[in-house]
């Protein structure tokens, strides 16, 4: 072979250097089947923290409070690839923890979080989201003092949204400015209990950039969380909770807690400026008319911690304003839908499509699906176009002197009891036996299933021998049945087996223990509860004693419900004094006389159940809201 010529060698070198090595393509937001895809590395994600400057000085140290924000976001995010964010703001990151397994933040030597509680980071960061775990002001690594739903709580979270949209300042640990040039500014807030409450509160300010919220078992009015129509659940609760969530030395925020005790109105139970500041439906800091965000509500009808009137009145107000919304409604107690038996995968996928729609602008079917998912029996769900059931009709039942509960008013009669503290089990036991602290009435056996969907209303005509009394109304189901045992473990048992939702690292896995629904066979179930202090019958903000010996109307809503009274069961109405299960008040000792012929309990019902057809010869509807039966059966066969 002849030797290569120098010119040929030079040409070969030139050609070789002119052929570049193929560069790796950086991942970008990818959508398939209406869902963003996991194309970003969770292990390589940026983990950082900043301190956002708020507009409040809650600890009165002369400096505006700064909010600690822990961030995890795709490595590729920045000015060239801006991503939306999902925020869980919480006061619980260093005390009770988050989720069913009580997860807390874990930090590395640089002070960045290497374990973010819950699955949101594991699942959504690979799909093109930033996830922010925010320490509520006065808690964990944030400045300030918690004020339990008030100005500091609300404006601290709002400041984070403002920073994401260039309207607030933030700083790194070394004091250098931090700019959120990696985000679109579109954000969601999500969380259970206090976390979801903060989402409601910030949304009610109307802050721009908060596109959607997912409040889970959340408060919409702190008055409703600690009061029912003047009846006090717990005394000085706000200061107690503030002290629990604040890990600073006690003296730092003592003045704030003392002020809450002085302003909470425990001496009367009235609604005042303290509670108006903490009201997100019609409050001083914000209200439902300012809400710009869409709202995905998740709650349960047996949550006796954050009682379900906190979701139902918020939901109704949102509906009146035409706010885009969706709801999941379970039968357990204070439980996250991630822990509804058999629903975990559906919950994650529904959240995924919800966030994709509102934050990434993905065109999917989430807003064309039925608005409501409702649990109608243990781990048995239906979907409907709204809640309460749109086809519901009002059923009014009236107590009679013979102990019956019927459709038509009975003859004029009265019944009396004394306002004393009683447990609910005492109130509903031995309903055919007279007790000095309650009166009780029942229907006959039901000829078909009746589904209550909505909020019952108790309407009593009473007179007292003292200026006021606490009244309790219980709507009760008498009849053996297998029900969700929400009293035990909140209605769930945690198993050892796990499933995983997203990507994991050695320090932060995406795996969580499965759960099953607790059930129990009981002969009686309290379906709906309602309480009122008679002196608040006319106004929540002004007490007005009922003139002694004079009849007056006392009308109020119980807690909402969605429940099926089954064929062969009996519906009961129990009227009593102070409910010792849920109120720390003492009974007034007043003698309460009830005019039975002018008293009733009314509630929206659907005949049959969503899973059965209704025998047409058993019932008919008259008018848009009233339910009745064929004339021959109206009084005797049905009740």
Give the catalytic positions in this structure.
Answer: 193, 303, 334
Q: Provide the 3-class DSSP secondary structure of residue 429.
A: coil
Whether 420 contacts 569, CB under 8 Å: no
Whether 73 contacts 139, CB under 8 Å: no
**Other CB atoms within 10 A of residue 168 CB:** 18
Distance CA 124, CA 359 (A): 12
Which residue is it, tokens 């304003």?
321
Instruction: Report which of 280, 262, 169, 183 is spatially closest to residue 224, judged by C-alpha positions.
Output: 280
Q: Provide the 3-class DSSP secondary structure of residue 218.
A: coil
How far, rounded to the nearest angstrom, does the alpha carbon of residue 97 sit from its chain's CA centroid? 18
Distance CA 221, CA 281 (A): 7
Distance CA 238, CA 260 (A): 7
Whether 363 contacts 335, CB under 8 Å: no
Q: Provide the 3-class DSSP secondary structure of residue 297.
A: strand
Q: 442 exposed, middle or buried (CB, 10 Å; 0-12, 13-18, 19+)?
A: buried
Distance CA 478, CA 463 (A): 29
Whether 366 contacts 353, CB under 8 Å: yes
- Across the strands, what pairs with 404? 442
């Amino acid at each position: 072979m002849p030797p290569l010529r120098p010119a040929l060698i030079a040409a070969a070198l030139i050609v070789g250097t002119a052929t570049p090595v193929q560069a790796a393509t950086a991942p970008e937001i990818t959508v398939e089947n209406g869902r963003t895809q996991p194309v970003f590395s969770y292990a390589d994600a940026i983990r950082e923290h900043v301190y956002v400057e708020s507009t409040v000085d809650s600890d009165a140290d002369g400096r505006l409070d700064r909010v600690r924000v822990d961030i995890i976001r795709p490595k590729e995010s920045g000015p060239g690839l801006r991503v939306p964010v999902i925020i869980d703001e919480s006061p619980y990151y260093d005390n009770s923890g988050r989720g069913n397994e009580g997860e807390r933040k874990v930090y590395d030597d640089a002070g960045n979080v290497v374990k973010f509680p819950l699955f949101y980071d594991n699942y959504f960061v690979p799909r093109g989201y930033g996830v922010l775990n925010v320490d509520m002001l006065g808690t964990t690594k944030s400045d300030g003092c918690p004020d339990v739903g008030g100005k500091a709580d609300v404006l601290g979270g709002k400041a984070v949204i403002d920073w994401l949209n260039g309207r607030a300042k933030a700083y790194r640990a070394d004091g250098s400015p931090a700019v959120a040039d990696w985000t679109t500014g579109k954000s969601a807030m999500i969380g259970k209990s206090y976390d979801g409450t903060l989402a409601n509160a910030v949304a009610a300010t109307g802050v721009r950039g908060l596109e959607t919220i997912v409040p889970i078992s959340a408060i919409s009015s702190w008055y409703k969380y600690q009061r029912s129509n003047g009846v006090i659940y717990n005394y000085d609760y706000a200061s107690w909770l503030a002290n629990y969530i604040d890990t600073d030395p006690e003296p730092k925020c003592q003045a704030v807690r003392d002020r809450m005790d002085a302003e909470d109105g425990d001496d009367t139970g009235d609604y005042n400026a303290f509670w108006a500041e903490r009201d997100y439906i019609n409050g001083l800091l914000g209200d439902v008319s300012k809400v710009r965000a869409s709202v995905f509500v998740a709650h349960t009808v047996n949550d006796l911690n954050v009682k379900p009137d906190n979701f139902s009145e918020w939901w109704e107000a949102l509906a009146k304003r035409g706010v885009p919304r969706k709801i999941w409604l379970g039968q357990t107690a204070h439980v996250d839908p991630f822990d509804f038996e058999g629903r975990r995968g559906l919950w994650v996928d529904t959240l995924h499509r919800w966030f994709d729609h509102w934050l990434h602008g993905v065109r999917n079917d989430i807003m064309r699906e039925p608005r409501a998912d409702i649990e109608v029996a243990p781990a048995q769900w239906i979907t409907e176009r709204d809640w309460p059931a749109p086809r519901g009709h009002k059923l009014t039942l009236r107590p009679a002197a013979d102990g019956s509960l019927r459709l038509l008013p009975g003859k004029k009669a009265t019944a009396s009891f004394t306002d004393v503290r009683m447990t609910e089990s005492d109130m509903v036991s031995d309903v055919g036996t007279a007790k000095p602290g309650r009166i009780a009435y029942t229907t006959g056996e039901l000829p078909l299933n009746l589904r209550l969907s909505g909020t019952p209303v108790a309407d009593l005509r009473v007179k007292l021998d003292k200026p006021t009394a606490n009244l309790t109304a219980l709507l009760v189901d008498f009849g053996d049945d297998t029900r969700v045992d929400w009293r035990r473990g909140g209605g769930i048992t945690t198993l050892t087996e796990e499933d995983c939702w997203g990507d994991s690292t050695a320090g932060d896995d995406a795996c969580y223990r499965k759960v099953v629904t607790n059930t129990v066979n009981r002969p009686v179930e309290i379906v709906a509860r309602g309480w009122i202090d008679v002196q608040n019958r006319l106004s929540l903000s002004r007490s007005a004693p009922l003139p002694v010996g004079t009849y007056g109307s006392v009308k109020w809503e119980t807690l909402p419900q969605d429940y099926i009274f089954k064929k062969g069961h009996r519906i009961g109405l129990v009227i009593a004094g102070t409910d010792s299960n849920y109120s720390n008040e003492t009974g007034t000792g007043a003698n309460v006389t009830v005019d039975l012929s002018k008293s009733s309990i009314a509630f929206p019902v659907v005949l049959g159940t969503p899973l059965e057809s209704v025998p047409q010869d058993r019932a008919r509807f008259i008018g848009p809201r009233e339910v009745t039966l064929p004339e021959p059966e109206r009084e005797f066969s049905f009740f």
